[in-house]
Chain A
Amino acid sequence: NAGVTQTPKFQVLKTGQSMTLQCAQDMNHEYMSWYRQDPGMGLRLIHYSVGAGITDQGEVPNGYNVSRSTTEDFPLRLLSAAPSQTSVYFCASKPGTYNYGYTFGSGTRLTVV
């Protein structure tokens, strides 16, 4: 049981490049979310999904796209990377039937230069 798997763990991008952060969970969780963590700002919600085919915006969605074609996968796409997107990104999932806490991945540390 791997839980929530994020790849890559580290990435350096040049301004303007695009990339996809991968997130997969094997717990059959309905809810999945992407957060970014910046020093002194806690975790801020980027996008979330309550099930396959359903996504919605969080607090800071600009510059990011998501899709949820399967229950297991929830990739986050950076369309045109900017230095302001330098951050640690966490994917998380939880069941939809009860309000359990989230299970988090180990994070992706992204640097945009």
Chain B
Amino acid sequence: AQSVAQPEDQVNVAEGNPLTVKCTYSVSGNPYLFWYVQYPNRGLQFLLKYITGDNLVKGSYGFEAEFNKSQTSFHLKKPSALVSDSALYFCAVSRSNAGKSTFGDGTTLTVKP
């Protein structure tokens, strides 16, 4: 079985400050990890992925994520938040190259001016 936990329902940050959205995972074997973003009344958009290699992964819109195998975490980060980053963020895991991904419950990020 595979699972994802996003421990924070809501994250609030001020514009210009760094942001972190947390994700921990459980999967047998090597994890394939993903972050997606959902804007209101829209489908999800892919942000970044970790398959193998460097523990710091860079993605779209200035986001990056840090993979930590010992802590089974894959936290999403951005050095300087924008108001336009306000959205719902989902972490997902899959096992190997299997087609199905398991998603977390999502974290709502609010960036205030």
Chain A residues at the B interface, C-beta cutoff of 8 Å: 4, 30-31, 33, 35, 40-45, 48-50, 56, 58-59, 90, 92, 94, 96, 98-107
Contact = CB atoms under 8 A, between A and B. Distances in A.
Contacts of A49: 99
Given A42-B105, A43-B90, A102 B46 contact: yes
A42 B106 CA distance: 6
Nearest to A6: B43
Interface string B1-19: 0000010010000000000
Given A99-B32, A101-B36, A104-B44, A42 B97 contact: no
Interface in B40-84: 42-49, 51
Contact residue range for chain B? Answer: 20 to 34
B22 to A, nearest CB: 15
Nearest to B43: A104
A99 B97 contact: yes
Nearest to B98: A50
The interface centre, meaning the residue of B101, B102, B103 with most chain A CB atoms within 10 A of its CB, is B101
A109 B52 CA distance: 36
B106 A102 contact: no
B49 A101 contact: yes
